[in-house]
């Protein structure tokens, strides 16, 4: 078990596109374990590889602790692709472990379909809606180098700027490790 520091706004890796996974080997499984450990330590419900410094196209989701989602098993998405997005959208307030303490209302598709590999190399396709779709879209964004401020209008983006600057300078107090 390893809890790794979470990368935060300003860290270049958060702006990089993830590299497709070529083989699901022990090394990758170790990294996935570290992703779960680091995410849970920070009380997150989703984490993308670049949030702990990895370049692979992988994210994990764990909604088990969320009311109404107790039956959702923790999931690993390898080389994910969003293959359908509904025209209907929903506005939900989001946070991000890489943007500590920041909250913003973000409009995203309400329903999606995603294709990915699981850790047993099965190609899967599932539909998701509501919070589940939301977490998937948020984590998928990390894998293409996008963050919450890229998904809000100019006005909100401006309002977030002072907070983003503080995060960049590490002028924040949080109870999980972040990069220096």
Rounded to the nearest 10°, the torsion over CA 173, 58, 143, 56 is: 100
Region near Zn ion per CB under 5 A, out of 19-27, 68-76, 94-102, 113-121: 94-102
Which residues are part of the catalytic machinery? 139
Q: Which of 124, 144, 108 lies closest to 20, judged by CA?
A: 144
Judge residue 21's burial from the number of C-beta atoms within 10 Å of its C-beta, 0-12 exposed, 13-18 middle, 19 or more buried: middle
In the bound state with Zn ion, the residue whose beta carbon lies nearer, of 24 and 59, is 59
Q: Name 54's Cβ contacts closer than 8 Å, sequence gap at least 6.
A: 31, 35
In the bound state with Zn ion, the residue whose beta carbon lies nearer, of 14 and 28, is 14
128 binds Zn ion (CB under 5 A): no
Site string for Zn ion, 44-83 (x = CB under 5 A): ----------------------------------------
Site string for Zn ion, 95-114 (x = CB under 5 A): -x------------------
First to last CA, the chain: 21
Q: Which residues bind Zn ion (CB under 5 A)?
A: 96
């Amino acid at each position: 078990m390893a809890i790794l520091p979470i990368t935060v706004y300003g860290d270049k890796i958060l702006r990089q596109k993830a590299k497709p996974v070529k083989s699901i080997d022990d090394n990758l499984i170790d990294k996935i374990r570290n992703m779960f450990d680091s995410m849970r330590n920070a009380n997150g419900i989703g984490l993308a590889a670049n949030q702990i410094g990895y370049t692979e196209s992988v994210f994990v989701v764990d909604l088990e602790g969320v009311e109404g989602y107790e039956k959702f098993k923790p999931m690993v998405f390898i080389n994910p692709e969003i293959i359908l997005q509904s025209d209907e959208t929903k506005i939900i307030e989001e946070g991000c472990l890489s943007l500590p303490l920041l909250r913003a209302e973000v409009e995203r598709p309400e329903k999606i379909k995603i294709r990915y590999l699981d850790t047993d190399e099965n190609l899967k396709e599932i539909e998701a809606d509501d919070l589940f779709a939301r977490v998937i879209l948020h984590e998928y964004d990390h894998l293409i180098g996008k963050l919450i401020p890229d998904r809000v209008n100019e006005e909100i983006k401006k309002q977030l700027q002072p907070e983003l600057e503080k995060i960049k300078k590490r002028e924040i107090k949080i109870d999980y490790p972040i990069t220096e």
